[in-house]
Structure 1
């Protein structure tokens, strides 16, 4: 039978953890929405004899309001316990009309019966009950943690609140307003302008509440919420996690459970910026972060759909795809867990999901297996489409390139002067639609690169080549030819040679200011002016730092920056005698596998495919820079128009808007208020935030991963060699802040990472060492093509060495030997 809560015995464990939590709340005088329970014994009877559910429910339906809405929730002994908290293990059905309750109960029982394991790996089918609780249509929903147990030094609790229904807070689909408390007051720690949510009133409706109004509405309830959390913690005897909602100015307490002890082996959501930080270093403006998040989710949704993921699985994976990139205190991070979960569902996913972090130059990471996983039919379809797309990749590539070339022809370099805000917004949507017609080629190419390169390394490791040619994998990556990034550097070198070949021209750049040179060089040195103009026309979508950020001006947008770049580097430039290295891998294979034709053919084909994919991968990076440049020009034009219309206060204010806000003319009147708040947020991040390379997310909080302490007594540090050679030289450590200020000529340059725009270093450096990166990274490819001895992935190198030290680096073995300390 279905029992009202007043009929239940609090000590009876049959009703599960969630029910016991609700009964505790009731017994302590908290306001709890009315609820009924179907006990475990009855549920087991329904499972054995399904038709009795109709009889049991029939009587109950006639005792309640037929127009009410209900939430149907599981309550198992394995949920909300003191050792484990299997929250949401069986799901919750919300906004269920009385007439639909029977179907909702059936659905919940079916999910219970189908569960074979859970995220903790220890499913125990016992004590499963069902709660039927009166549905509240909340103005706000929230979660309180009475203690921040993830930080042993913290003495405060945490609160997260969202407008409307709580399911969007628990799932993470909407951004919550967060705060912490220690006494009777909440201190809010993130204050974006508007918080979105969903309210249920005759159907679901999107709602938005400003930070000001949200905190104003919560203020009268702060003391009650805090004191309630502390009271429950004292009653249970350990920190608690509480769900609540506020409706018609009344707090409803929905759930209380102990915060379970976290084992070091538990899976966590991992965020890492080791790779994405090279393209988007440091704090980024909201226009950049929002557009990057949009492009990643849209592009990867397109390619997964193309490969054959059906609509059902796409819906299940929607949250994962939309969270491939995350913003933490203004900086961009890959949600590494989401990437791994998506890869896990694709062909070869068990391998690629594990290898993915390492291939991007990150530390490895465990991840919870995704709940959504294609069945065998969908998997076979994905495998077939993946193989077919590889076979016909030339056709896919041509379609992609034809489309992009046409878009570039129509828009690249266009300034969009004289357009209205509405016209610019429409232009933006048109360009995005045209670009999105074919996102497939670069993304498939990246996936192929990962698969084939990993397979090649695995075969090589177990081959006779590993002994005779230990650097074979690295060596074959040389001289791929026809790479835009290499052409770019070569032409820059040629420009510097041209300037150095003329004493008069060299003196001209040394003695005059950049603005004077830009204005007069066309008359004074027309040939050099033509060279500079051609370089900017061909490669000016790049710049010296952060070229993909919307807030950064590239050389096409601001040629003065390029003239200044030349001035900063021309004096330290000298012609290098680097000799391009190449390897005849086919001859080596013919020698080693003279009598094993099959193995030789396999390796030859694998190497050929891998090299093609790597070359395309690098060229597609430049295409991305071109794409972002077009979008940047549209955004710049909108900024000009908004300033002219007095919708923003000063030039560049639009960078504080998100991309969807910027192209939404209906909210233009609110721009100044949004921008003012975001300026405060960005200023706070710049002044108070020191970003970690990796974060773990748990219990609503980003926790920086501890970096292993650098052993400064080491005499030898090891990374991954990416260009052969043994050289000795003086250390110069560079950062984005010092890149244009330190003398790098003939030094061994060491950095945490090298940005794509730091190409001048490659023309001057004696050798390069990077703390981050992998042998397929932009830095590694350029070093190989230019014959610069280099090492990547040298962990903690920037903490171990210092400016002025003498080191020897071996680009084959990846070893860095400290020859002389500063004090020696």
Structure 2
């Protein structure tokens, strides 16, 4: 081995640095080359370490150590090498090299840091695994610390780290000597949030003095989270500055008291924080990846001490389809606006919704509406244009699902009759604030090269649409036949015997088949919009004085609509229970989750048979039916008994009646002859379409129930394969990640992703979700969202006696009673059910409610339709309802005029 050694530094060429300087020095060299402000540094290369090993006859021991693949043997061999390196005599050439390096820094206090070859890599950082020393002063101390850095190449923690990450042991160590900054403030910065993985958040920790105490945990640091794009401070936590940390030259710890004034002050001033943030932005931009940065501030300003790539999972949440995605994943211009509205989407996806549910729904929506446009014979060029917006019809913010509203207007524009259809869309979605005409008119689903091409395409689409309108009954029947053929086949499968691969294959087959068939059927929604709009116009023309409730009562799917069957079956089950006092006591006094197991072990075979029959018919149903994470009745029968308990209290009450009879009476009194016949013909068409729509929604519920069973097989399979830790983790994956688990994708990072998403879910649950908000551009940082109403939950004063909350009438009638505010239909028992939102699974609870009030939704939502058929007075779209109405309040619900009035105790009529 040659004896020529040279001190390396910023002047050294990149190739030599890469070969001899180790990971930490590679980073410093890159920073210097890029023009960043770095304290003077030099490097003792790996070749110097190799001379020490050669002089101590340790080369063979190193070779043997690197070949070991057993952890315990490696730990023993590493301990022996540490001892030998610490005792080895230093060759004169190495001593001369250390003297030269120290002289180049003009002596004095320096930092001595390890720079092992594997350190600060793009995949594995080895952060904290090797030794570094601050305040090292004098040649003897420097030499001692250099030797200690070499020995740390074989530290126990680094060996364990390598084996834990299935990496080969390391044995190539360089050492960095660097001028010590007399820092008044120092710290670390991650240019992406290391906890949540959010790429748009920058996290800074800062302490007074040197930063070694922060890294070691000896000092409680200030912590600041900053929105990277805007620079807005999202969170600030001031650390306990009771004591400060100052390492000494012999690596002891000198602890000093901090004065009272500094104790209460942030370690970084506002101006310094801005400078550190800007440094982080520039570092990430120049180096092309999120960075873990060490920095310090002295009297001369801000210094960059070192940086390494962040090796934990980081997601660009503004651009990707990740489950922590904010927005819809669109690539937007900086000033391009989007309107987000939860309207009646919360009927399907209430509250916090899992990443798997959201990404599955968004994927299906995109493909279904693409199929819808294709079925109306939209030309290929324009069909390709729809691919820019159909995949992003939904958005995801802090775990909540929203309509990407502008694109829904574009979707309505595919069919003819846009000016009328968009007005009905607004009523159907239940949006509080219709779009301005000027904006709505610009929202075209696609554009054409020439006016002739546009006219030709619109003619073809219109003719196709009219044919669909006339033949919709046959289309629906054909779909139902094919749907139940597929459903019956897969519903009859024994899912307990399926492997994960078999369940995935079944899922993909069902997904492709049903989505392909569902697309053309979306024309039914367009037809219903058109016919309902015409019905409302005809009503205004022929019955200009008709009350508002009449407009909703005159149309509907009919009392025998299939989706109302679970409610009727629940009423029948409640009648059976009510006939036996012992059964009433069992249902009312036993925790719901214990009732079914108790029945299985009792002699109540007849009641158990009725329960099993209900589960056999409606076992695919659940509360929040479209949320994949919500177990159905087959998996968890407890919710059945929650609804049954409430229904028991309503059996025997005055019979409820359909408000459609009142609509008939009104028509008989005000409309006759030819005008009545015309009106009834259109009414019949609307009612048939409404019934068809309810049947399709019922099919959708069944389809999701079937998919739930398949995903549960896959979830348990992924646990067995050790891809995820527990079954529930599968719902924290995106649908793309779940598919990747069965299509050969890398799965090593999924555990970290799941952990980050779980932590984010807990924080999301503490925020108020605004009903509607607007964003501009591609960035949806926390600062922008907070300005739009995404703020921590705060107490809102309850409404006082006499307060009248206006809403939209949905089912006529007046009821006074006790408000029961719930997030699921439980323990209503004749009270007035007050909810932020509902979903189709709430239908079975309607027999237990004397009235229904919903903060969000529309008169055309599933539960509102069924409530009208069952005669339950209903008001929807009551702003801030669940913030102002408390359980046990006495209220009056006027479903005719659409109001909710807070009553005093004495105002409640006897027997109400």
Query: For the superposition of Structure 1 and Structure 2, which TM-score range results when normalised by the shorter chain?
Result: 0.5 to 0.7
Number of aligned pairs? 590
SS of the aligned residue for 1:524 comes to: coil
Q: Cα gap change, 1:424/1:219 in structure 2, threshold over 3 Å: closer, same or farther?
A: farther
Q: Which residue of 2 aligns with 1:817?
A: 901
1:758 aligns with 2:842: yes
The equivalent position to 1:793 in structure 2, one of 869, 877, 881, is 877
Q: Which residue of 2 aligns with 1:347?
A: 416
Per-residue CA shift, 1:764-791, capped at 9, x if unaligned?
Answer: 2222211222221122222212111221
What is the distance in 2 between the residues matched to 1:391 and 1:624?
Answer: 24
Q: After TM superposition, give the deviation of residue 817 of structure 1 in Å.
A: 3.0
What is the distance in 2 between the residues matched to 1:671 and 1:494?
Answer: 49
Q: Which residue of 1 aligns with 2:385?
A: 316
Q: After TM superposition, give the deviation of residue 292 of structure 1 in Å.
A: 0.5
Q: Which residue of 1 aligns with 2:656?
A: 579
Q: After TM superposition, give the deviation of residue 297 of structure 1 in Å.
A: 0.5
1:328 aligns with 2:397: yes
Q: After TM superposition, give the deviation of residue 611 of structure 1 in Å.
A: 1.0
Per-residue CA shift, 1:309-360, capped at 9, x if unaligned?
Answer: 1110111221111101121122211111111122234311233235423321
1:365 aligns with 2:435: yes
SS of the aligned residue for 2:747 comes to: helix
Q: After TM superposition, give the deviation of residue 295 of structure 1 in Å.
A: 0.7
The structure having more radius of gyration, on CA atoms, is: 2
8 A Cα contact 1:413 1:630, kept in partner: no
What is the distance in 1 between the residues matched to 2:341 and 2:530?
Answer: 22
What is the distance in 2 between the residues matched to 1:658 and 1:508?
Answer: 41
Q: Which residue of 1 aligns with 2:169?
A: none
What is the distance in 2 between the residues matched to 1:645 and 1:272?
Answer: 40
What is the distance in 1 between the residues matched to 2:534 and 2:749?
Answer: 53
Per-residue CA shift, 1:397-440, capped at 9, x if unaligned?
Answer: 12211110101110115343444443333222211222134114
Q: Which residue of 2 aligns with 1:728?
A: 816
Q: Cα gap change, 1:354/1:730 in structure 2, threshold over 3 Å: closer, same or farther?
A: same
1:477 aligns with 2:551: no
What is the distance in 2 between the residues matched to 1:658 and 1:280?
Answer: 16
SS of the aligned residue for 2:522 comes to: helix
Q: After TM superposition, give the deviation of residue 666 of structure 1 in Å.
A: 6.1
Per-residue CA shift, 1:45-72, capped at 9, x if unaligned?
Answer: xxxxxxxxxxxxxxxxxxxxxxxxxxxx
Q: After TM superposition, give the deviation of residue 487 of structure 1 in Å.
A: 1.4
What is the distance in 2 between the residues matched to 1:693 and 1:478?
Answer: 27
8 A Cα contact 1:156 1:182, kept in partner: no
8 A Cα contact 1:661 1:667, kept in partner: no
Q: Which residue of 2 aligns with 1:533?
A: 612
What is the distance in 1 between the residues matched to 2:667 and 2:227?
Answer: 64
Q: Which residue of 2 aligns with 1:627?
A: 703
Q: Which residue of 2 aligns with 1:805?
A: 889
8 A Cα contact 2:491 2:706, kept in partner: yes
Q: Cα gap change, 1:646/1:468 in structure 2, threshold over 3 Å: closer, same or farther?
A: closer
1:604 aligns with 2:680: yes
SS of the aligned residue for 1:550 comes to: coil
What is the distance in 2 between the residues matched to 1:534 and 1:687?
Answer: 41
What is the distance in 1 between the residues matched to 2:552 and 2:367?
Answer: 34
What is the distance in 2 between the residues matched to 1:564 and 1:590?
Answer: 42
What is the correspondence of 1:677-688 to structure 2 with a 5 Å cutoff?
Answer: 677-688=753-764
Q: After TM superposition, give the deviation of residue 748 of structure 1 in Å.
A: 2.4
8 A Cα contact 1:732 1:750, kept in partner: yes
Q: After TM superposition, give the deviation of residue 669 of structure 1 in Å.
A: 6.9
SS of the aligned residue for 2:816 comes to: strand
The equivalent position to 2:772 in structure 1, one of 677, 681, 694, is 694
8 A Cα contact 2:843 2:863, kept in partner: no
Q: Which residue of 2 aligns with 1:64?
A: none
TM-score (norm 2): 0.59
SS of the aligned residue for 1:392 comes to: helix
1:498 aligns with 2:576: yes
Q: Which residue of 1 aligns with 2:490?
A: 411
What is the distance in 2 between the residues matched to 1:720 and 1:401?
Answer: 33
Q: Which residue of 2 aligns with 1:150?
A: none
The equivalent position to 2:715 in structure 1, one of 634, 639, 648, is 639
Q: Cα gap change, 1:470/1:656 in structure 2, threshold over 3 Å: closer, same or farther?
A: closer
1:158 aligns with 2:235: no
Per-residue CA shift, 1:576-618, capped at 9, x if unaligned?
Answer: 21331342867765664445x2x33331121111111112222
What is the distance in 2 between the residues matched to 1:486 and 1:419?
Answer: 33
Q: Which residue of 1 aligns with 2:70?
A: none
Q: Cα gap change, 1:631/1:186 in structure 2, threshold over 3 Å: closer, same or farther?
A: farther
What is the distance in 1 between the residues matched to 2:729 and 2:868?
Answer: 41
SS of the aligned residue for 1:158 comes to: coil
Q: After TM superposition, give the deviation of residue 672 of structure 1 in Å.
A: 4.8
Q: Which residue of 1 aligns with 2:307?
A: none
SS of the aligned residue for 1:342 comes to: helix
8 A Cα contact 2:647 2:848, kept in partner: no
What is the correspondence of 1:10-25 to structure 2 with a 5 Å cutoff?
Answer: none
SS of the aligned residue for 2:819 comes to: strand
1:185 aligns with 2:268: no
What is the distance in 2 between the residues matched to 1:796 and 1:156?
Answer: 30
What is the distance in 1 between the residues matched to 2:473 and 2:830?
Answer: 42
What is the distance in 2 between the residues matched to 1:499 and 1:335?
Answer: 46
Q: Cα gap change, 1:705/1:456 in structure 2, threshold over 3 Å: closer, same or farther?
A: farther
Q: After TM superposition, give the deviation of residue 718 of structure 1 in Å.
A: 2.3
What is the distance in 2 between the residues matched to 1:395 and 1:268?
Answer: 41
Q: Which residue of 2 aligns with 1:300?
A: 369
Per-residue CA shift, 1:548-568, capped at 9, x if unaligned?
Answer: 1111110023335534654x5
TM-score (norm 1): 0.64
8 A Cα contact 1:144 1:158, kept in partner: yes
Unaligned runs of 5+ in 1: 1-28, 31-142, 147-153, 161-180, 190-209, 228-258
What is the distance in 2 between the residues matched to 1:186 and 1:400?
Answer: 58
1:507 aligns with 2:585: yes
Q: After TM superposition, give the deviation of residue 529 of structure 1 in Å.
A: 1.6
Q: Which residue of 1 aligns with 2:162?
A: none
What is the distance in 2 between the residues matched to 1:574 and 1:188?
Answer: 66
Per-residue CA shift, 1:193-251, capped at 9, x if unaligned?
Answer: xxxxxxxxxxxxxxxxx99x974469799x9xxx9xxxxxxxxxxxxxxxxxxxxxxxx
8 A Cα contact 1:727 1:789, kept in partner: yes
Q: Which residue of 2 aligns with 1:41?
A: none
What is the distance in 2 between the residues matched to 1:488 and 1:361?
Answer: 25
What is the correspondence of 1:105-254 to structure 2 with a 5 Å cutoff?
Answer: 158=229, 182-185=274-277, 215-216=289-290
Q: Cα gap change, 1:573/1:472 in structure 2, threshold over 3 Å: closer, same or farther?
A: closer
CA RMSD of aligned residues (A): 4.0
8 A Cα contact 2:725 2:751, kept in partner: no
Q: Cα gap change, 1:271/1:406 in structure 2, threshold over 3 Å: closer, same or farther?
A: same
1:398 aligns with 2:477: yes
What is the distance in 1 between the residues matched to 2:570 and 2:546?
Answer: 38
8 A Cα contact 1:747 1:767, kept in partner: yes
What is the distance in 2 between the residues matched to 1:564 and 1:781?
Answer: 23
1:466 aligns with 2:544: yes
What is the distance in 2 between the residues matched to 1:351 and 1:313?
Answer: 23
